Amino acid sequence: MNEHFYAAILAGGLGTRFWPKSRVAYPKQFLDILNTGETLIQSTYKRYISFLPAENIFIVTSDEYVDIIKEQLPEISHSNILAEPSRKNTAPCVAYMSFKLLQTDPEACLIVAPSDHLITDTKTFEELTLQGLKFAHEHKAFVTLGIKPTYPNTGYGYIQFDQSSTKEKNVHKVKNFSEKPDLELAKTFLASGDFLWNAGIFMWNVKDVVNAFEKFQPEMYELFSAERNNFNNEKEKEAIERIYPLCVSISIDYAIMEKADNVFVIPASFGWSDLGTWNSAYTNLDKDEKENALHGDNIIIIDSINSMVSAPHEKLVVLQGLDDFIVVDTHDVLLICKKEKEQQVKEFLAKVKKEKGDKYL
C-alpha cells in the first residue's frame, strides 16, 4: 500500500430522489437500498479499505450524520470523520480535505468519490483507481474515471476525451465536460464513441488542487489558507465554522475540473451505477419471472409486471394489477407512481413540503 494515497468519501448528500425511504435525517447513503445486507456507505468503505490504509480513508459529511457514521462504521477513527457545518456542494469539502492533508502529508495524492454509488467489479475498480492515483502523482495531473456508456442516458453529465491523446495506456486528455443532455444529444454522444459518463470520481495531488483553488477560486482559497494553521488540532472545528458560511456553494466540477487544462480520464467499466433514482435501483435488484423487483419479506404481488415494490420487512403488502409501477412503503409514507414519472419525485417532495410542512421530508 502506498502511504501517500488517500480517499475522501463524500457522505453529506440528501438523496431526495429516493424519498420516501431516504429522508433528511437518514439519507440513502445510510440505507441498504439493494437488500444486500450492507448500507451504501458500508459497501463504499469496504471497497477502499481493501487497498488503502485505514488511517488514510476519510469520510466528509454533514454535522448531523456523524453519529450515524460512527454507528455504521465503528472501525473508523473519529479524527477521520470531517463534519461540515452546512451544505455547500463539493468544492468546499474538497478544499477542506485538501488543506487538512497538505498540513500532514505534502506528498498526499487523493481520490474523492461519492459514498452512495454501486460498483460490482471491485477488482477492476481497484486496478483503475491505483492507476489513476499513480498517474496523478507522477504527472501532476487531475484524473477522473469516466464510465463507458451503455445507452443514451439523459440523467448523467458526460466527459468528452481525445482518443488519440494518451500519456500511457488507457489515459486520455479530457476535451470538455458536458451537462446532462437531452435524448437526441445523448444519442449523438453515444454514437461518437468519445464520450463517457461522469461518475464524479476524481484524483489529484493535494498540493496541485490547492494551487488550482488559488488560481480558479481565489476567494475560497483565501478562506481556507487563512485558517490553515488551525487544521489537525483542537481549533479545527471553530475554523471550519468560520469558513463555511463565507464559502460559495459550487461543485468541484464547475470550480476546478472544467477550468483546469491538465485533466485526464480513464475510460472504465466496473459495473457502476450512481443509484440516483428508484429506476436505477430497479435495474440492479433481482427480479422474478415477470420482471418485478421486490424489496421486503412479506410482499405478495399478483397479475403484475415490470414493477418495483419496497416495503418494511415486517409488513404484509398485497398488490394486484401493477404494470410498470414503483411502490415504496415506509412507516409513515406510501409512494405509488409510474416508473416513467419517477424523475418527478423532487416535485412530489416540493408539494408535500408546501402542503404538509417538513414532517415527511
Question: Does residue 168 contact residue 239 with C-beta atoms inside 8 Å?
Answer: no
Rg (CA), the chain: 21
Mean model confidence pLDDT for the chain: 94
Q: What is the pLDDT of residues 279-293, one digit of tens each?
A: 889 999 999 999 999
pLDDT level of residue 86 (50, 70, 90 thresholds): very high
Q: Count Cβ atoms below 10 Å from residue 231 Cβ, excluding itself.
A: 18
Global pTM value: 0.93
Q: Has residue 346 got a pLDDT over 90?
A: no
Sign of CA dihedral 23, 27, 28, 33: negative
Q: What is the pLDDT of residues 112-121, one digit of tens each?
A: 999 999 999 9
The per-residue pLDDT for 165 is 65
Q: If you average pLDDT over residues 149-171, what whole number do you get?
A: 86
Q: What is the pLDDT of residues 31-55, one digit of tens each?
A: 999 888 999 999 999 999 999 999 9
Catalogue all structural domains in the chain, each as residue range(s) with its CATH number: 5-273 (3.90.550.10), 278-356 (no CATH)
* Lookup: cell for 134: 499513480
Tell which wins on pLDDT, 319 or 154: 319
Q: If you average pLDDT over residues 284-307, what whole number do you get?
A: 94
List C-alpha distances in Å: 360 to 24, 309, 332. Answer: 9, 20, 8
pLDDT level of residue 167 (50, 70, 90 thresholds): low
Q: Percent helix, strand and coil across the chain, each rounded to 5?
A: 40, 25, 35
pLDDT level of residue 1 (50, 70, 90 thresholds): low
